Structure 1
Amino acid sequence: MPQQRFPKVEVLSVAPHFISFILSETDTSMANAIRRIMIAEVPTLAIDLVEYHENSSVLNDEYIAHRLGLIPIRFTPEGSMRRVPGGDCHQAFLPHRECVCYDRCPRCSVEFELDVNFDRVNQTRPEQERDLPLTVTSTDLKSNNPLVAPAHFLNEEEQDESHDEGISIVKLGPGQHLKLKAFARMGISKEHAKWCPVAVATYRFWPIITINAEACGMLTMEQKQELVDACPDRILELDEATGNLVPAENAYEMATFTEDLKTTQEAMKKRPEDEDFVSVVQSTDRFVFSVESTGAMDAEDILLSSLRVLKDRLNYLASEVENGLK
């Protein structure tokens, strides 16, 4: 019988747009399954259909529709400050193909309206800006659902650095007019990348750093400092009190490239068969994840939603196996 495991999650840092955590007491198959689910199977909302009433801008209809589809659409459940689990829209909306409506309805889609006329807006602009092109942004999209809106910025820092009020769609000049209706539907990025909730979802193996105190005792201080400087990640440092090599404070989060360290200590050995001064190996049951959101969901919620999807998949597999054995 294989050894039963109980995976654990330890959060290192968390922000609305980013989360870093350690997944332990499991193996690579589970780590990769969670990563792939976060990328491809977490449901989100994205604009999937656009109806044009007028488009006299410099971009054709298909180009603007493509840009609209890539705008992150955020769902915020009504109620408490802490969402349930925030931004996870699968409980509020049905996939379009599963809805019983003929075309579309509030249960499976959200309607956005956009109507920007350069000449009309230009009359209300400051005089010094009236000769400049007018930028149509995601803030011009008006939703018919108060719980759904475009995610204009990833965080406050990005908002402060931006020159526009939201995500740019197109620029309009004198006499130009853009009027359309856009419909957002729920989907997963396995179908199309516009439904992907993550910008980055990666993991790496937790490093196991072992320092051979007996072998390091044979080195001079210059050689120890050379070992410290050899690794670009600076995973080693010299203890000021004892002069011994010790792992750096953030060594376990930074040890990604250790080939230079290995080459340096090989040159220091008197004999090739001597033991290494420092060894760095990859753990097979401990992984460091980094997840960055696109803005459609908080990073923490992406993780929670991916675990829900994984649980549903495993329950379905278990039921199919049970039915097959009957």
Structure 2
Amino acid sequence: MPNQRFPKCKIVSSSQSSLSFELYDTDVSMANTLRRCMIAEVPTMAIDLVEFENNTSCLQDEYIAHRLGMIPCKVINADFKGGDCAEEFVPHFECTACEDFCDKCAVEFTLDVDYDVENGKRADDEKGTPVVVTSADLQSKSDKVMIASFVDNEERESSQDQGISIVKLTSGQAIKLKATARMGISKEHAKWCPVGVATYRFIPEVFLNQEQLAKLSLDQKKQLVDCCPDRILTLDDATGKIELAEGYEDRATFTEDLKYIQSAMKFHPEDEDFVRVTQSTNRFIFTVESTGSMHPEEIVKSALKRLQLKLSNLTEVITRLDA
């Protein structure tokens, strides 16, 4: 097979809410395909139907329903991480066990907060202190799915609320509703998107023309090193030789500063550049930040599963056409 590639992956850093990894031995088409799959094809659970029994808050039903839909829902796996919901549920339009929704395709949440009952109305204080209704007040009727109020423990510790704010209640106000979460993908609606950030960048390749650099004076070399805002170059005081700085790949950008200063330093306009920065065509650094509905590693794995499934379906279609 011509141009056959075997992509490889290397983890750069990982946390509860974000993941950075290097994808190499491939090209930009594969990198962009993986990025788009993470954004649009990975299935998650999100509140899709809200039935209000009582709402005397300052916000309309539609406004609260929209807020509820954007709250991340996490499917609990064995490691208590946000896993792939396709292993536990089926899309509601594919469910054959029910006509509306059931345990195989949906999860029900309840919300019931009454200011006068929860906060205790006092005769000498008619207004009282407002109660903030948050995502922590949503009660799940399934042990498989929970509300992801925070993306990680750091956000939980720094937050002033118990979860994502939904509405504030004051004296005489209450809210009671039933919400149904279903599985979907963000190609259908953004509330099913598992990532806040899913992007990649080209790893820079920096080439030093030592033959040309040797023609520069010490002051010119210092000027060349200092002109780059990314500090990708260093000057060895002992040898007077310009070298690449440690960790330059993480900082280097395709800035125009080097281009302008080199043009001024060249002895002849046709001379080669002293330093050349180009984009790698087969190495990419990915950054994935979760919304809290799934662990970042699970997002990447799920995106690869969706891509593999699409390729398998395409192979079957082509096979039938050939037959």
TM-score normalised according to structure 2 size: 0.95
Question: Which residue is 1:26 aligned to?
Answer: 26
Equivalent position SS for 1:102: coil
State the match for 1:284 in structure 2: 281
Paired with 1:155 and 1:26, the residues of 2 have a C-alpha distance of: 32
**Aligned 1:217-296 pairs, distance under 5 A:** 217-296=214-293
Give the letter for the 1:222 counterpart.
D
Question: 1:68 Cα shift?
Answer: 0.4
The residue type equivalent to 1:11 in the other structure is: I
Query: What is the CA-CA distance between 1:268 and the residue it aligns to?
Result: 1.0
Write the letter of the residue equivalent to 1:152. S
Partner of 2:92: 96
Give TM-score, length-normalised by structure 1. 0.94
Over the matched positions of the two proteins, sequence identity in percent amounts to: 55
User: Residues 74, 82 of structure 1: CA spacing in aligned structure 2 closer, same or farther, 3 A cutoff?
Assistant: closer
Are the counterparts in 1 of residues 27 and 282 from structure 2 also a CA contact under 8 Å? yes
Aligned Cα root-mean-square deviation (Å): 1.8
- In 2, Cα distance between equivalents of 1:111 and 1:312: 29
- 1-structure distance, mates of 2:66, 2:226: 48
What residue identity is the alignment partner of 1:88?
Answer: D
Give the equivalent residue in structure 2 for 1:178: 175
Q: CA deviation at 1:212?
A: 0.9
Residue 117, structure 1, aligned to residue 110, structure 2:
no
Task: Report how far residue 58 of structure 1 moved.
Answer: 0.4
Identify if the C-alpha distance between structure 1 residues 67 and 12 changes in structure 2 by more than 3 Å, giving closer, same or farther: same
Letter in 2 for 1:74: K
**Alpha-carbon distance in structure 2 between the residues aligned to 1:181 and 1:241:** 73
Aligned counterparts of 1:121 and 1:222: Cα–Cα separation in 2: 73
Q: Counterparts in 2 of 1:79-158, with a 5 A limit?
A: 79=78, 81=79, 86-100=82-96, 101-123=98-120, 131-158=128-155
Distance in 2 separating the partners of 1:96 and 1:297: 20
Give aligned pairs, total: 320
Residue equivalent to 1:163:
160
Structure 2 counterpart of 1:90, one-letter code: A
1:257, CA displacement in angstroms? Answer: 3.0
Q: Quote the offset at 1:251 in angstroms.
A: 1.2
Distance change (3 Å), C-alpha of 1:169 and 1:273: same
Q: Structure 1: which 5+ runs fail to align? A: none
The CA deviation at 1:239 is 3.1
Work out the CA distance in 1 between the residues paired with 2:218 and 2:170: 69
Q: Which runs of 5+ in 2 are unaligned?
A: none
- The one-letter code sitting in structure 2 at the alignment partner of 1:93 is F
Q: How much does 1:124 deviate? A: 9.7
Amino acid at match of 1:98: E
Structure 2 distance, partners of 1:240, 1:52, is 73
308 and 58 in structure 1: CA distance in 2 versus 1, 3 angstrom threshold: same
Amino acid at match of 2:248: A
What's the CA shift for 1:316? 1.0
